[in-house]
Structure 1
């Protein structure tokens, strides 16, 4: 069946400017880390991307090694683009990354110019694209000068293979230095992608301050702590969940009884707010506007619906925030 996007797709989604750039991102973005690989069902992935776009989610986040197998998420996404989204390409923000292991030998990972340029060329072929909107260095490289890695990102923009560049998993100090190099080169850093959730608070230890100071946006991955901050695991790991699947997603050791006690208390609080736990967790990372976008994963359409519905309840009272801190303490 030919896809035609919803005429109402921009009516309810909130869009936030990324740092000091002119680019706005949807408050909820869809990541293809899992459930879009070669081991997954193409039509299910297609259904989820269609639904996301119909709800105003314009940003789709990939990396060279997403799958499994590595690379297959980009191949799947390229097939969905060709089948459904070529008329809508200019309404979409498509990102990919390089830095983790992708192919054997000295050029298949980390942050050399050779590695980053080669990886993006491969990604563009898999997706059938001339350019991506955002290209990230996926992790800092301890053995390549930061100047070389940033120069590679600048080169890629000048070649027209990416419109913007970003960083992921960089420390506050690394982010500040990388940002200053990129500004000198004339290609400012658009965005940083850290892990952030109620259970992973690392960005609060300086990174969010650096992003504010440098005028960089943020898109946080695992805002639901790989599904722990949902009602999915309140009673253990279900056999049909991602944690039980072949793509090792969640280590069962993360589901300690202490963590589950906290999650159950948060779940009760979310119910009092008229939200699901997942919705409250997304609202929490988006509160106050410091985070540009929350990057969700999904294994079914209903999870995308739930995530977008969370935008109706982003406000917290000071008492609610204090109660969350007490639960997590």
Structure 2
């Protein structure tokens, strides 16, 4: 484990440090991928100072497979050196108790996650999304119970609105279990959290670990000439072709020019840009190969931006009709 390869950032007002770039297992861990390839990515992550691994009960395919693969591949000698996070809320089995944020479902799905991971606890357990059908008091009291019983060390939420995040933080604080972290989507093509959520997180002392900082691969060099035949957009897998508009492509090409002047790829620039805000604790990246992961982590070698560079990015976004 190379702890010098990248900076570590404090997660909110807690004692927990996370690497600036963390590994998400959304797309590239599961039964459909060669186990040796997944092992190589995991070992490269250790070499790059990645100590934080983000999963969810539904990640695969099939559902649960990412947790099973990670549980099989994680060396138990490194358990105390890594932060393992997972999430509940997702549809996992048929029937009224197989989804949502009821106490019944959350406790059952976490037990199944721990069995797949081969662990007695995770470091963070997230509510993957809010559940309007379940009172927020029940949702957060279940998080409190999970932490108090030692099945997770910290509590987190993902995809919650700013208002519901603030209320969840208040309720948890009253119970004596701080809300450690929020996991929202954030990228140069999706800046919505800047308007309110980041302010709430800063005020409440909650960390922010963002997913999709590369907009499902759109903020990379892959789309500079259009939609590749083997891309997610071509397959309609998490990124649909209708999102790859001429205006968006023009914006990505303008980013490529700026990235080249900085000695970076488009992906490295996009990750560095997300990390420019000190309220962002870590960015989650996926990786289909050790080489791709290494290239993404290299974003930390140039995290500074001049005012002119930031202005150029905002100007290009506005010209392309991308929200700023």
Same fold by TM-score, threshold 0.5 exceeded? yes
Q: 2:277 aligns to what SS in structure 1?
A: helix
Calculate the aligned-residue CA RMSD, in Å.
Answer: 1.1
Please list, as runs of the form range in 1=range in 2, the aligned pairs for 1:31-46 lying within 5 A after superposition: 31-46=24-39
Q: 2:187 aligns to what SS in structure 1?
A: coil
**Rounded Cα–Cα distance in structure 2 between residues aligned with 1:192 and 1:327:** 29
**Rounded Cα–Cα distance in structure 1 between residues aligned with 2:86 and 2:233:** 24
1:320 is displaced (CA, Å) by 0.6
Confirm or deny that 1:318 pairs with 2:307: yes
Could you say which residue in structure 1 is the equivalent of 2:215? 225
**Rounded Cα–Cα distance in structure 2 between residues aligned with 1:182 and 1:37:** 33
Could you say which residue in structure 1 is the equivalent of 2:61? 68
Q: 2:153 aligns to what SS in structure 1?
A: strand
For structure 1, the 5+ residue unaligned runs are: 1-5
Could you say which residue in structure 2 is the equivalent of 1:251? 240
**Rounded Cα–Cα distance in structure 2 between residues aligned with 1:193 and 1:23:** 15
**Rounded Cα–Cα distance in structure 2 between residues aligned with 1:58 and 1:272:** 31
Could you say which residue in structure 2 is the equivalent of 1:298? 287
1:286 is displaced (CA, Å) by 0.3
Q: 1:260 aligns with which of 249, 252, 263?
A: 249
**Rounded Cα–Cα distance in structure 2 between residues aligned with 1:67 and 1:251:** 20
Please list, as runs of the form range in 1=range in 2, the aligned pairs for 1:134-145 lying within 5 A after superposition: 134-145=124-135
**Rounded Cα–Cα distance in structure 2 between residues aligned with 1:244 and 1:59:** 31
1:240 is displaced (CA, Å) by 3.6
**Rounded Cα–Cα distance in structure 2 between residues aligned with 1:198 and 1:69:** 31
Q: 1:289 aligns to what SS in structure 2?
A: coil
Could you say which residue in structure 2 is the equivalent of 1:3? none
Confirm or deny that 1:189 pairs with 2:191: no
Deviation string for 1:267-323 (max 9, x for gaps)?
111101111010000000000312000000111111211121110111111111010
Confirm or deny that 1:50 pairs with 2:40: no
**Rounded Cα–Cα distance in structure 2 between residues aligned with 1:218 and 1:194:** 8
Please list, as runs of the form range in 1=range in 2, the aligned pairs for 1:16-165 lying within 5 A after superposition: 16-81=9-74, 85-165=75-155
